[in-house]
Amino acid sequence: MEQKKTDRRVKYTKMVIRESFLSLLTDKPITQITVKEICQKSDINRATFYSHYEDVYDLLDQIENEFYDSLMETINANKSTLNSVAVPNDILQTIYKYGDLCTVILGKHGDKAFLRKLINLGYIDALSSWRSLFPNISHDELCLIYELIANGCIGLIQIWIEKGMTEHPEEIAEIIVSFTIAGLRGYNGLHDK
């Protein structure tokens, strides 16, 4: 993606910073993690940290973006298979594949906003397919239901992660899709208005 990081020093520095940060994030939320703390743990000078990252959030951003990119690759690779379970499946599979990382960045002290960003990858597909499949439900209601489902997925995935990803990722995707379709099919919402 960027230049080739030939210099071993840089590679090492970023690596230990990253490891230390993720280790800290396992134990407490990012709001309580200081630059100083990361540097102590990784035995790196604070000035060095600042030469690579703006602050702790910038560090998290870079980690997240890296993951996001590899997820996008997977999704684009599977783009041909057009069915409703495809994207959820890709997302869950990728989370599962990078389990160690995701347990930290999406788990207990994880970043809900980032998980939401992942979920939204299915947004356009989901919403447009719902609209044609369930023309009796109003646009506004569909949007609210999307909000319900999207946030539901976030919570469900977080629980799945926190419990150690014991179920297969396809099972979680299956639960989500099955429940969603059933809900929409049987939905009998606001009558007038």
Which residues are near DNA by CB under 7 A? Answer: 6-10, 12-13, 34-37, 43-48, 50-52, 55-56
Vertex 76: Cα angle to 75 and 77 (nearest 5): 90
Residues that bind its own copies (CB under 8 A): 31, 112, 141, 144-145, 147-156, 158-160, 171-172, 174-176, 178-190, 193
Nearer to DNA among residue 29 and residue 99 (C-beta) = 29
Q: Which is nearer to DNA, 37 or 174 (CB)?
A: 37
Q: Which is nearer to its own copies, 86 or 149 (CB)?
A: 149
Q: Which listed option, DNA, its own copies, none, makes contact with residue 154 (CB within 5 to 8 Å by class)?
A: its own copies
Residue number, 47 or 124, with CB nearest to DNA? 47
Choose between 34 and 81: whose C-beta lies nearer to DNA. Answer: 34
What is the distance between the alpha carbons of residues 131 and 137, in angstroms, rounded to a whole number?
Answer: 8
Which three-class secondary structure state does DSSP give residue 160? helix
- State in angstroms the smallest separation of the CB of 109 from DNA: 16
User: CB-hemisphere CA count at 13 Å for 101?
Assistant: 15
In the complex, minimum distance from the CB of residue 179 to its own copies, in angstroms, rounded to a whole number: 5
User: What is the phi/psi pair of residue 17, to 5°?
Assistant: -60, -45
- Rounded to an integer, what distance in angstroms lies between the CA atom of residue 42 and that of residue 189? 55
Q: Least distance in Å: CB of 31 to its own copies?
A: 5
Dihedral in degrees, nearest 10, Cα atoms 78, 81, 84, 85:
-60
Contacts of 52 (CB under 8 A, 6+ apart): 10, 13, 14, 17
The site partner of 35 among its own copies, DNA, none (C-beta below 5 to 8 Å per kind) is DNA
